[in-house]
Amino acid sequence: MDSVSRLLRLARLRADLDKRCLLGAGTRMEVPTHGEREAPFHVLLEGTCRLQVGTVLLDLRPGDVVMIPSGAPHRVITDGKGDQVGTAEAAGDAFVTTRSEHGAEPVIDLFCGHYTFDAGTGSLLFSSLPDPVHVSFGQSAESDEVLRMLSALMRGEARREGEGTAAILSALCTVLLAMVLRTARGDTTRSTLWTAAADGRIASAVEGMLDDPGADWTIERLSRTAAMSRATFLRHFTRDTGTTVGVFLTRARLMAAAELLATTDATVAAVAGQVGYYSESAFSRAFRAHLGTTPARFRRENSLRGA
């Protein structure tokens, strides 16, 4: 199984489409903080608007996707003169439809939802992504075609809103995330995603560490496998993944450890050894630093054995 598919499975991801926003000119929509282990996302189908997260202001065009891994509060703003107007919501069976107050003619068609993920691999995956993630699929002919088809399916199902609509839209939103993780590189995004390394040699190194995190992954071994000098490999790895080999390897090992703790009876010491730690105490320190809890407590709270 490829790394993106495996990561999404291990993250125990759930996708929910919350709103379809048909907003008129001069509208501001406030989006509150999301819950723990929730990452809101927006996909713009028609029109242009701005999305503000803290001090970051993004200009969105059709085909743009924004995801906020931290769940931070943000706002969507449409262009227009005069005072900004608010929004009104109408509940439906599968999602809420949000429109501008006073019934302004829509200038954008925006889908808004959120991803929910587990406390192990999911938390490590989403915390490793830029915040926010902004991907412009319209920059690539291939991805633009896929997004057009996906958008047409989402809009068609949203208009239909019948039996099974919530499940269908959830599946399509998961497809959207897989597209983001595998294609967010170069001219499609403001920030590098390690899941979308463009250089095949770096992608192979990433796959290798994810497949066998307990192996002795030295810089020398990785650079020889990639047929690069040590310095060239380190430079290309950081450029293509946005992180260092050491940070990435720690993340890969802790993802594997979280899965073992949740699904097996192996002792903490045995799990530490399987993922490449020679010291149980060093493993426990790293686990707590990245996941905010001890391996033993994580197992008690997240065990899937017998579930």
Element (H, E) at 96: strand 96-100
Residues 208-256 have pLDDT tens digits of: 999 999 999 999 999 998 999 999 999 999 999 989 999 999 999 999 9
What residue numbers bound the domain in which 108 lies? 3-194
Q: In terms of DSSP bridges, do strands 87-91 and 38-46 run parallel, antiparallel, or are they unpaired?
A: unpaired
Question: What pLDDT digit, counting tens, does each position of 37-58 carry?
Answer: 999 999 998 999 999 999 999 9
Nearest to 236 by CA among 247, 252, 223, 253: 223
- The last residue of one of the domains, among 148, 165, 194, is 194
Given a cut of 70, is residue 82 above it in pLDDT? no
> In this structure, is residue 307 part of a structural domain?
no
Residue 241 within any structural domain of the chain? yes
Same domain membership, residue 189 and residue 59? yes
Question: Rounded to an integer, what distance in angstroms lies between the CA atom of residue 62 and that of residue 191?
Answer: 19
d(CA 213, CA 210): 6
User: How much is the pLDDT for 193?
Assistant: 84
How many Cβ atoms from other residues are within 10 Å of residue 52's Cβ? 14
Cβ count near 35 (within 10 Å): 8
Of 161, 194, 227, which closes a domain?
A: 194
Inside any domain, residue 255: yes
Residue 288 domain flag: yes
Rounded-to-integer distance, Cα 13 and Cα 9, Å: 7
Please name the amino acid found at residue 232: T
133 part of a folded domain: yes
Q: Are residues 74 and 160 in the same domain?
A: yes
173 and 42: one domain?
Answer: yes
In a domain, 166, yes or no: yes
pLDDT value, residue 137: 72
Q: What angle do CA 9, 14, 17 make, to 5 degrees?
A: 140
Q: What's the rounded mean pLDDT across residues 83-108? A: 86
3-class DSSP state of 220:
helix
Q: What is the CATH number of the domain that holds 28?
A: 2.60.120.10
User: In terms of domains, do 171 and 206 share one?
Assistant: no
**31, 85 contact by CB (below 8 A):** no
The reply to whether 120 falls in a domain is: yes
| Percent of the chain clearing pLDDT 70 (strictly above) | 93
pLDDT band at 22 (very low <50, low <70, confident <90, very high): very high
Residues 174 and 246 in one domain: no
| Residue that is last in its domain, among 171, 194, 217 | 194
Write out pLDDT tens, residues 139-164: 555 566 777 788 889 888 888 878 88
281: amino acid identity, one letter: S
Specify the pTM: 0.90
The CATH number covering residue 258 comes to 1.10.10.60
Give me the number of domains the chain comprises. Answer: 2
Each residue's pLDDT tens digit, 119-130: 999 999 999 999
